[in-house]
Amino acid sequence: MELVSPAGNLPALEAAVAAGADAIYVGFRDQTNARAFPGLNFSENELGRGIAHAHRHGRRVYIALNTYAETARLQDWQAAVDRAAGLGADAIIVADPAVLDYAARRHPALPRHVSVQGSATTAAALSWLYERFGVARAVLPRVLSVEQVERVAAAAPVPLEVFAFGSLCIMVEGRCQLSSYLTGASPNRHGVCSPARFVRWEEHPDGGRSVRLNQVLIDRYEPDEAAAYPTVCKGRFAVQGEIFHALEEPTSLNTLPLLPRLRAAGVKALKIEGRQRGAAYVRAVVSTWRAAIDSLPAAGEEWTLRADWQGTLAHHAEGHQTTLGPYHRAWH
């Protein structure tokens, strides 16, 4: 299975290569990608250097163009496709059918991967994308159980990539409205949940903190409590007299216990989330997954989950806790 690492800057890309990633996914420094944070992502010059570095080490680079184009600015996404092709990217990761269509017509030799933002969860949807746009791979949304992943993998006309570790989004990916509800800036169009200009942290005398999104209080933290990513879905709410994480707890997805099952299902690639994280995160998480993947063929049915792997991943998880999320659930 291919190990796909995030990189939000050149040091993170170099760390991913050194840690053993087979491929690295990145974004341009604009709203064509879904991690358009200030100070993050690549200029063309930086990305050219990053791609050259990866290729020297036999690794691949995928460029995420995974937001939805605005009608008046479609040419920006089309230009990003042209830039990706010109830089020698190994693939682009796309959600918008209009962008897929442009890429298929203008750059047919450039492989096209369907982004998780495309919300393709069935073999029928993947067949349409393959027949219409010639996609080479699809990233499945993080809302499917492992049984559903197995069924899709058995019938899909294209290789599948699944999220293996990182921030867990249980909203309908590609269609989430929670951030835009408070800020007016859609993450699907503007490239970021909770844009930084709307986020305000407040320190309290006792050492605790509060976070507001566009002046709306979304959480309060005790002095020693790990803070979550400041989004509406991870906030705490008063519901029938009780305050709790009503939508989603601050925790990271960790599918390492499912590694043999995902391999047996024929999953092509395992994706680490976290382009907004630093080089240290990339180095630790990628090297852990590299060791686990490499140990699997020789161990076969005797493969066991090592406690030190899990400890490393938990240390770098959101809220310092991990979950299998929708991969493991009793209801369907």
Could you tell me if 47 and 137 lie in one domain?
Answer: yes
Total length of the chain: 332
Is pTM beyond 0.85 here? yes
Residue 232 and residue 300 share a domain? no
- 124, part of any domain: yes
Domain match, 233 and 92 both: no
Per-residue pLDDT of the chain (332 residues; tens, 9 = 90+): 999 999 999 999 999 999 999 999 999 999 999 888 888 999 999 999 999 999 999 999 999 999 999 889 999 999 999 999 999 999 999 999 999 999 999 999 999 999 999 999 999 999 999 999 999 999 999 889 999 999 999 999 999 999 999 987 766 676 677 878 888 887 777 777 888 889 999 999 999 999 999 999 999 999 988 888 888 888 999 999 999 988 888 889 999 999 999 999 999 999 999 999 999 999 999 999 999 999 999 988 899 999 999 999 999 988 778 888 888 876 55
Q: Which residue range forms the structural domain that includes residue 313?
A: 2-168+251-327
- Structural domains counted in the chain: 2
Same domain, 189 and 263: no
Choosing from 244, 263, 288, the residue where a domain stops is: 244
Query: Are 164 and 239 found together in one domain?
Result: no
Residue 321, phi then psi, degrees to nearest 5:
-140, 155
* Shared-domain flag, residues 104 and 7: yes
3-state helix/strand/coil string of 205-247? CCCCEEEEECCEEEEEECCCCCCCCCCHHHCCEEECCEEECCC
Using alpha carbons, select from 62, 66, 267 the residue that is nearest to residue 150: 267
Q: Do both 155 and 267 map to the same domain?
A: yes
Whether residue 294 is contained in a domain is answered as: yes
Say whether both 11 and 83 belong to one domain. Answer: yes
Instruction: Give the end of a domain, one of 201, 222, 244.
Output: 244
